[in-house]
Amino acid sequence: MAPKLVISVAFLISVSLAVQFGADAAGIAIYWGQNGNEGTLEETCATGNYEFVNLAFLPTFGNGQTPMINLAGHCDPYTNGCTGLSSDIKSCQAKGVKVILSIGGGAGSYYLTSKEDARQVATYLWNNFLGGSSSSRPLGDAVLDGIDFDIEGGTNLHWDDLARYLSAYSKQGKKVYLTAAPQCPFPDAWVGGALKTGLFDNVWVQFYNNPPCQYSSGDLSNLENAWKQWISDIPATKIFLGLPAAPAAAGSGFIPVADLTSKVLPAIKGSPKYGGVMLWSKYYDDQTKYSSSIKSSV
């Protein structure tokens, strides 16, 4: 009778592994916040298309500046007009969507001048957006799931310090997810050093606006070579393929749905670190329905 018991245990182990990996299935991350005509945050999460929503952006911080969010036409942070997003954030989280604050962006005033500066920024983010407390939380009392490093300017200094300080807050209860959106040329000029800390959960690499490492009309080689370098050299939990959701969303790098599903994804999905696809942005995704078209293939 003993062999049957062994089979049963092996079966149970395989089932439990399947459940674990199923819960960690690939998904789509989206950036929301830079166009007032892209629907509400609650509507974004209600589509069921996204596992992660990055709130774009907190473009002003560091060097003693008063941090300030900019969510374009959605709300006015200068009049506390963004606190109403708290209920939207909670609605998203109730659906299992992780809501993350993206700091930086393509246009902003941000850089860290010292390790102490990084510590102060981390403290501010913890108290105003994460699990800490402050009388002036810009998005109300909702507790965001983490911080996204979309660093595209300033300097490349002390982002590793900021990651360490933020990661340490995970010890105070709810995990603080750390994500980043580097450019596909390796290593990234801004956060390449920070990514080496191994503290980042998801890295959505921007495979656009960078012709040397992006897909172009049938030619996979540049993208595939860059992808292999990212998955082998960066100690992150998951690497995502970052793409524009429409041709107009970026200067270059848009991949037609048919090419993505039949050529690109089959070439990269075999990697254990493959996490899914990141799209810029919700506004453009609304125009093309890109996420709906690729969801079953991701």
Helices (H), ranges, the chain: 2-23, 41-46, 85-94, 115-128, 159-168, 192-195, 221-233, 257-259, 265-268, 282-288, 290-294
Can you read off the two tokens belonging to residue 49? 């298309």
Catalytic residue among 43, 51, 152, 224: 152
Q: Could you report how far apart the first and last alpha carbons of the chain are, in Å? A: 43
The yes-or-no answer on residue 152 being catalytic is yes
Pick from 67, 69, 66, 74: which is nearest to 57 by CA?
Answer: 69
Can you read off the two tokens belonging to residue 152? 């595209």
Burial of 267 (0-12, 13-18, 19+ CB in 10 A): middle
Inter-residue contact 253 to 156 (CB < 8 Å):
no
Q: Residue 260 has what DSSP assignment?
A: I
| Catalytic residue ranges | 152
